[in-house]
Amino acid sequence: MTRADLTRLTGNAGGPHCDDDDCPNVYRTGSGSFVVQGSVSAAFAPPEGEGLVEIPERVLREAVRALGW
């Protein structure tokens, strides 16, 4: 899967020091799952094959609005 295969749900709200590709974002895949882009978190060690990212609440709220939930 590439970025072109994803639907970007967030990024319109912008923020300081933020351009198109380097801010926390939420994307939707063709199968309906989500890909989240954010700062790497070291809160705990996730299971192998998984990772932790931290994103601001405003990004999740923007994604929910974009989906019309």
Q: What pLDDT, on a 0 to 100 scale, did the predictor assign at position 30?
A: 95
The number of beta carbons lying within 10 Å of the beta carbon of residue 3 is 10
- For the residues of 5-32, what is the DSSP string, one character each? GSEE---SS--TT--SSSS-EEEE-TTS
Q: What pLDDT, on a 0 to 100 scale, did the predictor assign at position 1?
A: 87
Whole-model pTM over 0.75: yes
Contacts of 11 (CB under 8 A, 6+ apart): 20, 23, 25, 62
CA distance 38 to 25: 7
Q: What pLDDT, on a 0 to 100 scale, did the predictor assign at position 15?
A: 58
pLDDT, tens digit, for every residue of 2-58? Answer: 989 999 998 865 555 566 667 889 999 999 999 999 999 999 999 999 999 999 999
